[in-house]
Amino acid sequence: MTVPQQAASQDLPSFAVENAYRHWAKVYDAVCAPVFRPAHKAAAAAANRIGGEVLEVGVGTGLVLPLYDRQLWVTGLDISEGMLAKARQRLGERPMPHVAALETGDIHELRHPDESYDAIVMPFVLTLLAEPERALDNCRRMLRPGGEIIIVSHFQSATPGIAKIERWLAPRIAGLGLRPDFPLARIAEWAASHEDLAPPAVDSAGPLAVYKRVRIRKLPRSETAVI
Ligand SMILES: C[S@@+](CC[C@H](N)C(=O)[O-])C[C@H]1O[C@@H](n2cnc3c(N)ncnc32)[C@H](O)[C@@H]1O
Q: 76 in ligand 1 pocket by Cβ < 6 Å?
A: no
pLDDT confidence of residue 3: 46
Cβ of 132 closer than 6 Å to ligand 1, yes or no, is: no
Whether 225 is in a domain gets the answer: no
In a domain, 147, yes or no: yes
Residue 57's pLDDT is 98
Residue 208 maps to a domain:
yes
Q: Does residue 180 belong to any structural domain of this protein?
A: yes
Q: What is the position in ligand 1's atom list of the atom closest to the CA of 84?
A: 27
pLDDT of residue 174: 86
DSSP string, 182-208: --THHHHHHHHT-TTBPPPEEEE-SGG
pTM of the model: 0.93
Q: How far is the CA of 60 from the centre of ligand 1 (A)?
A: 5
Helix (H) or strand (E) holding 54: strand 53-57
Q: Is 12 in the pocket of ligand 1 (CB under 6 A)?
A: no
Q: What is the pLDDT of residue 149?
A: 98
CB neighbour burial string for 38-47, b if at least 16 within 10 angstroms, e if fewer: bbbbbbbebb
Distances (CA, A) of 197 to 7, 126, 145, 212: 26, 18, 9, 19
Q: 78 in ligand 1 pocket by Cβ < 6 Å?
A: yes
The pLDDT, as a whole number, for residue 5 is 53
Q: Determine the structural domain holding residue 36 and report its residue range.
A: 5-220
CA nearest ligand 1 atom 12, residue: 58
Check if 129 has its Cβ closer than 6 Å to any atom of ligand 1: yes
Which of 81, 77, 70 shows the shortest CA–CA distance to 25? Answer: 81
pLDDT at residue 227, as a whole number = 45
Tens of pLDDT along the chain (227 residues)? Answer: 444 455 678 888 888 888 888 888 999 999 999 999 999 999 999 999 999 999 999 999 999 999 999 999 999 999 999 999 999 999 999 989 999 999 999 999 999 999 999 999 999 999 999 999 999 999 999 999 999 999 999 999 989 999 999 999 888 988 888 888 899 999 999 999 999 999 999 999 988 788 999 999 999 988 876 54
Residue nearest atom 16 of ligand 1, based on CA coordinates: 129
- CA pair distance 98, 146, nearest whole angstrom: 22
Residue 226 resides in a domain? no
80 lines ligand 1 (CB under 6 A): yes
Asked if residue 227 is part of any domain, the answer here is no
Instruction: Supply the pLDDT for residue 20.
Output: 86
Residues 182/156, Cβ–Cβ less than 8 Å: yes
Taking alpha carbons only, the member of 107, 12, 93, 91 closest to residue 55 is 107
CB-CB contact of 84 with 104 (8 Å): yes
For atom 4 of ligand 1, the residue with the nearest CA is 60
What would you measure as the largest C-alpha separation in the chain, in angstroms? 55
Rounded distance between C-alpha atoms, residue 105 and residue 84, angstroms: 10
Dist. CA 89–CA 71, nearest whole Å? 22
Q: Dihedral, CA atoms, 187, 193, 194, 195, nearest 10 degrees?
A: 130
Cα(91) to centroid(ligand 1), Å: 18
How many whole angstroms from 224 Cα to the centroid of ligand 1? Answer: 32
Q: How far apart are CA 52 and CA 65, in angstroms?
A: 15
Number of domains the chain is built from: 1
Q: What pLDDT sits at residue 206?
A: 83
Q: Which residues 6+ apart lie within 8 Å of 129 measured at CB?
A: 11, 12, 14, 17, 107, 108, 135
CATH of the domain at 30: 3.40.50.150
Ligand 1 centroid to residue 226 C-alpha, Å:
38
Q: Does 50 reside within a domain? A: yes
Query: What is residue 179's predicted lDDT score, i.e. its pLDDT?
Result: 86
Residue 187 belongs to a domain: yes
- Ligand 1 centroid distance, CA of 42 (Å): 17
From atom 25 of ligand 1, which residue's Cα is the shortest distance away? 80
